[in-house]
Amino acid sequence: MTDPLAEFRAATGGGSGCRIPGARQTMTAQHRDAFDQAMTDRTISAPAIVKVLERWGINVTLHAVGAHRRGQCACSK
Ligand SMILES: [Zn+2]
């Protein structure tokens, strides 16, 4: 299921929500798989994830990746 607004939501800065789910929506299935694995792999650093996402044309902050990984973001509630 594709959310036509996913890309816009992902690009929306500020607010209290976590941007990771929105960013995931804009990824291809292949990228999403790799991203999910990277997020749970402790040997992959958060800055590395941010860098790769940038390469994929997705901008997320280091803070968002870190908080999501630690379960300290809005979507862990
Ligand atoms: Zn999150």
Query: Angle, to 10 degrees, between the axis of helix 46-55 and the axis of helix 29-40?
Result: 170
In order of 13, 29, 41, 45, 58, the CA distances from 70 in angstroms are 21, 24, 12, 13, 21
pLDDT of residue 1: 61
Return the residue matching tokens 């973001």: 73
* Ligand 1 centroid to residue 71 C-alpha, Å: 7
Tell me the CA–centroid distance for residue 70 and ligand 1, in Å.
9
**pLDDT band at residue 14 using 50, 70 and 90 as cut-offs:** low
Please state the pTM of the whole predicted model: 0.77
Find the 73 Cα to ligand 1 centroid distance in Å: 5
Distance, CA 67 to ligand 1 centroid (Å)?
7
Mean pLDDT of the chain: 89
DSSP H helical ranges for the chain? 6-11, 20-25, 29-40, 46-55, 62-70
How many angstroms is it from 50 CA to the middle of ligand 1? 14
Which pLDDT score is estimated for 2?
75
Cα separation, 29 vs 31, whole angstroms: 6
The pLDDT tens digits for 18-45 are 889 999 999 999 999 999 999 999 999 9
Domain spans, the chain: 18-44+52-76
Least confident of 12-16, 36-40, 49-53, 63-67: 12-16
